[in-house]
Amino acid sequence: MALRLRLVPRSLKKQLLLSLLSSLLLVWGATAFISYKLTRDEITELFNAELAQSARVVHAFVDNMLRQRALTKLWEHDKSPELFDTPILGHKYERKIAFQLRSVKDGLVLRSESAPEFALSLTRNGYSETMLDEQLWHVFSLSSENGEYVIHVGQRDDIRRQLVESIAGQQVIGFLVALPVLGVVIWLIVSRTLSPVNQLKEQLASREAGHLQPLSDDKLPEEMQPVVKQINALFAMLEQAFANERNFTSDASHELRTPLAGILTQVQVAQKTQDPQVRDQALQKAQQAVLRMTHMVQQLLTLSRVQHHNAVIDKQPLDVNRAVIGVIADMDHVAHDKGIEIELQGDDGIAIDANPQLLQILLRNLLDNAIKYSPSGSRVKVQFRRLKNQLWLSVEDSGPGVAGGDYQRITQRFYRCVETAGSVEGSGLGLSIVQRIVSLHGAEVAFAKSVLGGLKVLLKFDLPNPPDANAKDGSALPADMI
Amino acid sequence: MRLLLVEDDTILGDGLKAGLAMEGYAVDWLTDGAQADEALKLNKYDLIVLDLNLPRMDGMSVLKAMRKRKDSTPVLLLTARDGVSERVAGLDNGADDYVAKPFDLSEICARLRALARRHEGRGLPILEHKGVSLDPAAHQVHYLGKPVELSQKEFEILNFLMTHIGQVTSRPRLEETLYAWGSEVESNAVEVHIHHLRKKLDANLIRTIRGVGYIIDEN
C-alpha cells in the first residue's frame, strides 16, 4: 500500500544523526551500565577491605590495651561504646561501620553505638553475612591469637547499599548529563559538515534553466569535488548542446533571410515595372527563389531531424545494390534533364546494417550534389565494392571540385564553395546531412579529387559479417576506388 | 547616379539591380568581395550597396579597405544577421547606414537618397536653384512652379549637376553616372540630353565649357 514505514530517512543529515545518536545512546548506555556495575562491585570490595582494615586496627588497639591491662578497666567499666564512638564525626560515612569486641568467656565486651548487642557473626575469622533484627550485616571477624576474644566489624547492608547506590549513581548521573551535551555537539558537527551539501543544493535550486555556468568547486570538501565536477561536465555538455541549437537557429534564420529578401525584391520589381518583359522575368525569379527556399527548408528539416537522432538508430540489413539503384531511379529524371549519364558499378549481394530512410537521404544528397555540380552532358559515377570487412561506396562528379583541397570546410553547415556559389543553387546543407548520417552509422566519409575532374565522396561502412572465402575481397577493387 | 551593388545571391542581386535601375541608378552588380574591391579601386561610384556575407572577401573587409584608401563614397550595408554587433561593427568601420534582410525596395531607395543627400552636405530633400526645383524621391522637376516632364536620363543629368553646383562636370563623368557596365553609350547622348534640358528649362541654366564639360553656376 501507499503507506510505508520508512526506517531509514532519505536525508543524509537525518540518517547520520539517527545512526550516530542511536549508537551513541546504545554504547553510552552500555558503558554507563557496566561502569555502574563495576563501580558498585569495587565499592563493595572497598567496603569489605575497610571492614578488614578496621578489624585489624581494632585488634591492634585491643591487643595493646590488654597487654597494658588497660582494657580490663574498660572491660569492667561499662561495656559501653564511647571509646569508639566519638561524638565528632570525621566523615559522613564514618558511622556506618559497627564494631563488637567479644570475649569467649564474657561475651560482649565492647561495642560501638551502632552495633547490636547480639554477636554480629558466628564466624571467628573472615567475611560473613548475618541476619540480625531483619537486617543484613556484612561482617569481618578477627579472633585474637590465643582465641580469647573475637572482633567483629560490620556494616548494615541497607546502609552499604545506599552508599554504593549513591556513589555509583553519581557516576551514571554524569553519563546522563553528558549524553544530551554530546547529542547537541554531534548535531552541530553533522550540520556543519553537511553544510556544503546544503550550499550546493541552494546554489542549484536558485538557478534558472538557461543558467549553465559551472558551479564553483573551491571550499568544497574532497568527497564532493567529483560530484560537482560531474555536474559541471554535464552543464558544459548541455551548454554546448544549447549553443549548437542556438547557432543552428541563428544560421538558419540568416540563411533564409537572403532568399526571402530576393523574393520580396523581385516581387516589388514586378509590381513597379511598366515593362511586361521585366515583370515576367522578375516573377520567374521570385518563383525560382521560392523553389530554392522550399528545398532549403526541407534540407534544414532533414538536418535538424538527423541531428536530433539519438546515437542509437534502428538498423536493419539492407541490400546496397537495391538501395543505390532505388535512389538513382528517383534522381534519374533530374540527371536526364541535364543530359548527365549516371554510371553504376557495384557488386551484388552486399548487405549492410543501416537505417533505410537515413541511407536513402544520404545517397540522395550525394547524388543530388553530383548532378547539381556536374556540367550538362557530363558523367556521374557511383561505385561500391566490398573491401575486406568494409563496404566502400563512392560518388564522383565532373564538376569543378573543391579548390585547394579544402575538404575540411565543405561539411560545415551553410558553407558553399566560392567557385559554385554563384552558379549552382544549393543550400549548403547537403554534406552536413551526409556527415551526420555517416556518423550515426559509425561509418567514415572522405573527400578527394575524382578522375572525372570533380569531387569524389567515399563512404566506408563496416559490414556486419566477415566475407566468406568465396566472396571477392580487396584484390578485386579497382585502383581508382582507393 | 552610378551605384555599385555587391550581393552574392543571384536572385536578390538581380532584383536589386532591376529595382535600382528603375529608380534611375546606373547599377554595376558584382557577386564577390575581391571583385568589388578591385572595381572600387578603378571606378568612381556615387553610392555602394554592400552585402556583408560575400565569397572570397567579406563585405566588412571591402569596406575597411576602401575607407583606408580615403574613399568616402556612401555605403549602405545589407545584413542578414539579427545581432546588433554586426551592425555596430559595420557602422564603426565606416558604413553610412544598414538595412536588415529582408527589406522593402522602397526603403533601400529612400535610404540611398538620404545617403546621397548627406554626402553632398544637404539636409533638405528638395534641390532648388534659379527657379528649378528637383525632388529626387518623387522624380519630379518644377520650373517656375510648373511641373516639367523629363526623361530618366535628363533627370539624372540635372540631378547630378544640381548637386554639384559651381563645379564643372566632364562628359565622361556624366556618362558614368548614366550608364552601368555593359550598357551602350551613344557618342553624343549627353549633348542631346543637355540640349533637351535647355529647351525644357532656362536655356542659360547649364553652361558648356568647351573642351571641359558642363556647369550650373552659383548665381
Question: Would you give the end-to-end CA distance of chain A in angstroms?
Answer: 68
pLDDT given at position A474: 46
CATH fold of the domain at A313-481: Heat Shock Protein 90 (3.30.565)
Taking contacts as CB-CB distances below 8 angstroms, the residues of chain B near A266 are: 11, 14-15, 18
pLDDT given at position B37: 93
Q: Do B19 and A265 touch (CB under 8 A)?
A: yes
- Quick check: B101 and B78 in contact, CB under 8 A? yes
Taking contacts as CB-CB distances below 8 angstroms, the residues of chain A near B78 are: 261
- Quick check: A379 and A343 in contact, CB under 8 A? yes
pLDDT given at position B74: 93
The size of chain A, in residues, is 482
| CB-closest option in A253, A255, A262 to B12 | A262
pLDDT given at position A73: 47
Q: Do B15 and A253 touch (CB under 8 A)?
A: no
Q: Closest approach of chain A CAs to the CA of B9, in angstroms?
A: 7
- Quick check: A137 and A120 in contact, CB under 8 A? yes
Q: Which of residues 400-459 of A touch B (CB under 8 A)?
A: 416, 418, 421-422
- Which chain B residue has its CA at the smallest distance from A418's CA? B55
Q: Is A259 on the interface with B (CB under 8 A)?
A: yes
Q: Is A249 on the interface with B (CB under 8 A)?
A: no
Residues whose CB is less than 8 angstroms from the CB of residue B133 and which lie 6 or more positions away in sequence, other chains included: B126, B127, B141, B142, B143
Low-confidence ranges of chain B (pLDDT < 50): none
Peptide bond into B102 cis (omega under 30): yes
pLDDT given at position B36: 92
Q: Is A310 left (phi over 0), alpha (psi -120 to 50) or beta?
A: beta
| DSSP bridge pairs for A354 | A316
Q: Do A253 and B14 touch (CB under 8 A)?
A: no
CATH 3.40.50.2300 domain extents, chain B: 2-119
Q: Closest approach of chain A CAs to the CA of B104, in angstroms?
A: 7
Is the ipTM beyond the 0.85 threshold? no
Q: Do B103 and A258 touch (CB under 8 A)?
A: no
Residues whose CB is less than 8 angstroms from the CB of residue A268 and which lie 6 or more positions away in sequence, other chains included: B15, B19, B104, B105, B106
DSSP A175: H
pLDDT given at position A134: 82
pLDDT given at position A311: 63
Architecture of domain B2-119: 3-Layer(aba) Sandwich (3.40)
| CB-closest option in B8, B16, B82 to A421 | B8
| CB-closest option in B18, B56, B103 to A261 | B103
pLDDT given at position A7: 64
Low-confidence ranges of chain A (pLDDT < 70): 1-9, 69-96, 309-312, 405, 416-426, 465-482
Domain boundaries in chain A? Answer: 12-171, 226-306, 313-481
Does domain A226-306 fall under CATH 1.10.10? My reply is no
Cβ-Cβ pairs closer than 8 A, A with B, add up to 89
Does domain A12-171 fall under CATH 3.30.450? My reply is yes
The size of chain B, in residues, is 219
Q: Rg of chain B's alpha carbons, rounded to an integer? A: 18
Q: Is B94 on the interface with A (CB under 8 A)?
A: no
Residues whose CB is less than 8 angstroms from the CB of residue A188 and which lie 6 or more positions away in sequence, other chains included: none
Dihedrals phi, psi of B133, to nearest 5 degrees: -120, 135
- Quick check: B22 and A384 in contact, CB under 8 A? no
Q: Is B85 on the interface with A (CB under 8 A)?
A: no
Q: Which of B11, B53, B54 to mutate against chain A (most A CBs within 10 Å)?
A: B11
CATH 1.10.10.10 domain extents, chain B: 127-216
Q: Domain B127-216: give its CATH code.
A: 1.10.10.10
Q: Would you list the DSSP string of B106-152? A: HHHHHHHHHHHHHHTT--SSSEEETTEEEETTTTEEEETTEEE---H
pTM over 0.90: no
